[in-house]
Amino acid sequence: MSGKVKVQYLDSSTQEQLTALFKDWKFASFGDIGCIMPTTYANDADNILNMAVRPDDVWVLSFPRSGKNEADTFLNMAIRPDDVWVLTFPRSGKNEADTFLNMAIRPDDVWVLTFPRSGKNDVDTILNMAVRPDDVWVLTFPRSGKNDVDTILNMAVRPDDVWVLTFPRSGKNDVDTILNMAFRPDDVWVLTFPRSGKNDVDTILNMTFRPDDVWVLTFPRSGKNDVDTILNMAVRPDDVWVLTFPRSGTTWTQELVWLVKNNLDYERALKLRLVERFPYLEGTHIVRSDLISVAPEQHQAITRSSFELVANAPSPRFIKSHMPLSLLPAHLLEAKVVYVARDPRDVAVSCYHLSKVLLKYVGDFKTYWNVFAKDLVLYSPYFPHLKEAWAQRHHKHMLFIFYEDMNKDLSSVIKRVASFFGKEFTNEEVAQLCQHLDINNFKKNKAVNAEAFLNAVGTKDESFIRKGKSGTWRDYFDAEMTAQAQSWLNENLADTDLRFPSHS
Ligand code: A3P
């Protein structure tokens, strides 16, 4: 039902009075009470009277200037979900974008951001937003004052997490990145199997080895394996090398050579262990780490990388190796080399005893000999090893000696060694050196007998300095083995004038 507002225009004298007081205004009275309003109100009076009123409207009615301000009105007003509000600072001519961009943010503010009236939160919006390849993102935890680096470093990692790591926006995964990354020589890498909780050291120590495994060992980060390392190592002209097939009298010869070169300095020879004075070039690969670890004090020298030890040794260096010449530096004979050879049957007996201790060999001697003669023991093949050195025996920097000659006439060998190194000793000095090198003294000499090491690894029945005799192989070979050994020798000596001295 629509209504009509009664309008009463003022008489002309009242109108004139009011116009004089309120410049240019024209008033009329409206409705039953004659409410004074501008005459223009007549246009809307009926509309307002008839307008639709909604139940949830809030109206504030007052006579002007009666004491209620808008703050109350706004604070208490009802807001509907589909309202759209544009807020401005009155007369500022600026919208909220500027206001927000310039507003002060306090560290303890908590912000919940939504797209206005979207009914969806930012999680969905962010998950579904388009990412452009050239975007640059800086991620922080809002208002934490800490960056993600700390957060990530300290976050809890669960064993069943699966992590895929990428460089943001690179479109490449870490595999490529790692394969192509530059390595610096002083990098230290700790490698683990992801999420295994064990490092590779354990894994490798406990792994099962199969007889047909082929291992290529490298120095981490060198990109080269040790074969190359040795072949390319720098040889110094004043180096002294003692080369042998194992158990051919190496230790005995090393001590002899070291004393000759060091003018019979027995004091130092007894104080400093031979393993330190005369490092074992490839020892790193031969002396088992579990044996070293039970005797770290005794064998500090070989617990370090033997290659490093040799590379960093002051000149003149004394170097022991069992490698054949073809696996040593091509320029080796720029330095002086003493090569010791021994009858392979005595070598096999001696190797058999030491293998029980150091290589955990568990078979009997006959089995060992069969493996030896098939050239399957460490440092084999036996004859090519000797023949390579024998071929160089006339080189001025090569001294080729036989264990058997040392055993038969040590003083003659001492004189040969002395002249090889340009030294001369009196007969008394030679005799004194013979005494020092005598098997009975040598056995007791802690600087050479490796006793502390063998004790530490629990060896009671074997010693490093053992019988020290030639021809004891006969106690080990039955008739069949003796014949087989003889034909093996004949076969391998057929194409060479190399012969083992027979003094026995
Ligand atoms: P046996 O096991 O036949 O006794 P290497 O030093 O190359 O490992 O050689 C070890 C062999 O040389 C062992 O042989 C050891 O006893 C012997 N040996 C060590 N010192 C010796 C010495 N002073 N006199 C004689 N033989 C010695």
pLDDT at 293 over 60: no
Q: Give the model's pLDDT for residue 66.
A: 60
- Quick one: pLDDT band at residue 10, thresholds 50, 70, 90? confident
Local structure of 457: helix, strand or coil: coil
**Range 362-390 average pLDDT:** 93
Q: Which has more pLDDT, 22 or 376?
A: 376
> How high does pLDDT run on average in the chain?
77
Local structure of 179: helix, strand or coil: helix
- State how far the alpha carbon of 483 is from the alpha carbons of 112, 193, 477, 488, in Å: 95, 54, 9, 9
Q: Which has the minimum average pLDDT: 72-86, 161-175, 490-504? A: 161-175
pLDDT at 504 over 60: no
Smallest CA-to-CA distance from 286 within 324, 242, 321, 251 is with 321
CA 422–ligand 1 middle distance (angstroms): 26
Q: Give the model's pLDDT for residue 16.
A: 80
**E strand or H helix that includes residue 434:** helix 427-437
Q: Which has more pLDDT, 364 or 225?
A: 364
Tens digit of pLDDT for each residue in 83-112?
655 554 444 444 555 556 666 666 666 555
pTM given for the model: 0.59
**Range 309-320 average pLDDT:** 90
pLDDT at 138 over 70: no
Closest ligand 1 atom number to CA of residue 441: 23
Closest ligand 1 atom number to CA of residue 472: 3
**Which of 353, 466, 500, 504 best tests ligand 1's pocket when mutated (most atoms within 8 Å of CB)?**
466
Residue of the CA atom closest to atom 22 of ligand 1: 439
Closest ligand 1 atom number to CA of residue 437: 23
Q: CA–CA separation, 345 vs 478, rounded Å?
A: 12
Q: Are 166 and 172 a contacting pair, CB within 8 Å? A: yes
Q: Which of 7-21, 41-55, 163-177, 470-484 has the highest mean pLDDT?
A: 470-484
Q: CA–CA separation, 262 vs 250, rounded Å?
A: 18
Tens digit of pLDDT for each residue in 201-250?
455 555 665 665 555 443 333 334 567 778 778 899 999 999 999 999 99
pLDDT at 448 over 90: yes
Q: Give the model's pLDDT for residue 90.
A: 45
- State how far the alpha carbon of 259 is from the alpha carbons of 67, 84, 270, 271, 359, in Å: 116, 100, 11, 13, 31
CA 92–ligand 1 middle distance (angstroms): 103
Closest ligand 1 atom number to CA of residue 463: 16
Residue of the CA atom closest to atom 27 of ligand 1: 468
pLDDT at 419 over 90: yes
Residue of the CA atom closest to atom 25 of ligand 1: 468
Q: Are 216 and 296 a contacting pair, CB within 8 Å? A: no
Q: Give the model's pLDDT for residue 91.
A: 42
Give the bridge partners for 199, in sequence order. Answer: 192
CA 479–ligand 1 middle distance (angstroms): 26
pLDDT at 13 over 50: yes
Residue of the CA atom closest to atom 19 of ligand 1: 465
**Range 434-454 average pLDDT:** 91
pLDDT at 407 over 50: yes
Q: Which has the minimum average pLDDT: 34-38, 194-198, 283-287, 470-474? A: 194-198
Residue of the CA atom closest to atom 5 of ligand 1: 247
- Quick one: pLDDT band at residue 193, thresholds 50, 70, 90? very low
Tens digit of pLDDT for each residue in 327-359?
999 899 999 999 999 999 999 999 999 888 877
Q: Say which DSSP state 339 is in.
A: E
Q: Which of 77-81, 184-188, 256-260, 456-460 has the highest mean pLDDT?
A: 256-260
**Which of 257, 408, 439 best tests ligand 1's pocket when mutated (most atoms within 8 Å of CB)?**
439
CA 79–ligand 1 middle distance (angstroms): 102
Q: Are 353 and 413 a contacting pair, CB within 8 Å? A: no
Q: CA–CA separation, 278 vs 310, rounded Å?
A: 9
Tens digit of pLDDT for each residue in 26-85?
888 888 888 888 888 888 888 888 887 877 777 767 676 565 555 566 566 666 655 655
Closest ligand 1 atom number to CA of residue 252: 20
Q: Give the model's pLDDT for residue 394.
A: 96
Q: CA–CA separation, 320 vs 279, rounded Å?
A: 6
**Which of 242, 244, 251 best tests ligand 1's pocket when mutated (most atoms within 8 Å of CB)?**
251
Q: CA–CA separation, 235 vs 75, rounded Å?
A: 92
Closest ligand 1 atom number to CA of residue 246: 7
**Range 486-500 average pLDDT:** 96
**Range 169-194 average pLDDT:** 55
Tokens of 219: 């120095």
CA atoms within 13 A on the CB side of 106: 3
Q: Give the model's pLDDT for residue 494.
A: 95
